[in-house]
Amino acid sequence: MIRLHHVPQARSFRTLWLMHEMGLEFEIRRHSFFDKSMRSSDFLALSPAGRVPALEIDERVLFESGAITEYLVETRAEAGLGRLPGHPERPDWLEWLHFAETIGQHLASLTQQHIVLREDWMRSPTVMRLEAKRLEKVLEVVERVVARRDWLLPSGFSAVDTNVGYGVMIARRFVPADLLPAVAAYHDRLAARPAFRRALAEDGPAELYTRAFYEAPDD
């Protein structure tokens, strides 16, 4: 039995999407950022930081999306979405896996500024603009690669496309898509994948990112 603890639009989407790409059977336990269920003692026993994803698998629990990605592709290597030790693309695969967290760092800051801090007086337009520009700069790294090929690795689609691809999907809320045309085309290729469409259908109603775009206000 594999059980994914998931919140719509959260990083657990990476795992949801990846497991569909791998053809795995699993169940979803849905949570919300706003009902305090992830602060319960039962959930904290699964994910000590009170976050998602948490994945119950192989008689244990994993709660970091990057570690979950690596574990899934290594223990279920037949899906072909990892690049295991000894593979010539292994260093690049690992680089992209962790680069997804660089993207996520700026997304987290922007999410806090635009959404989590509910009162205008709590927010900083300066931080909003600075983090949006930083996010644009890290996306330029992706832009240079996907302008030359369809996926992040020369050999084709892999699990790192789900991790970076989630960041690309959410980044469209903060960085205009037309600034990075190759990234926009990459997003369209990702969104056309059947596994992505299945994951999106199961993601659940939006409760975090409810606007198509979040623009920094004037000072």
SS3 57: strand
Please provide the size of the chain in residues: 219
pLDDT per position in the chain (219 positions), as tens? Answer: 999 999 999 999 999 999 999 999 999 999 998 888 899 999 999 999 999 999 999 999 999 999 999 999 999 999 999 999 999 999 999 999 999 999 999 999 999 999 999 898 999 999 999 999 999 999 999 999 999 999 999 999 999 999 999 999 999 999 999 999 999 999 999 999 999 999 999 998 998 999 999 998 876
* Nearest CA-CA partner of 159 in 9, 7, 24, 3: 24
Q: What is the CATH number of domain 90-193?
A: 1.20.1050.10
Task: Delimit the CATH 3.40.30.10 region(s) of the chain.
Answer: 3-79
Task: Delimit the CATH 1.20.1050.10 region(s) of the chain.
Answer: 90-193
Put simply, whether the predicted model's pTM sits higher than 0.85 gets the answer yes
Angstrom distance (rounded) from CA 43 to CA 36: 10
Q: Which CATH class is domain 3-79?
A: alpha beta
pLDDT at 22: 98
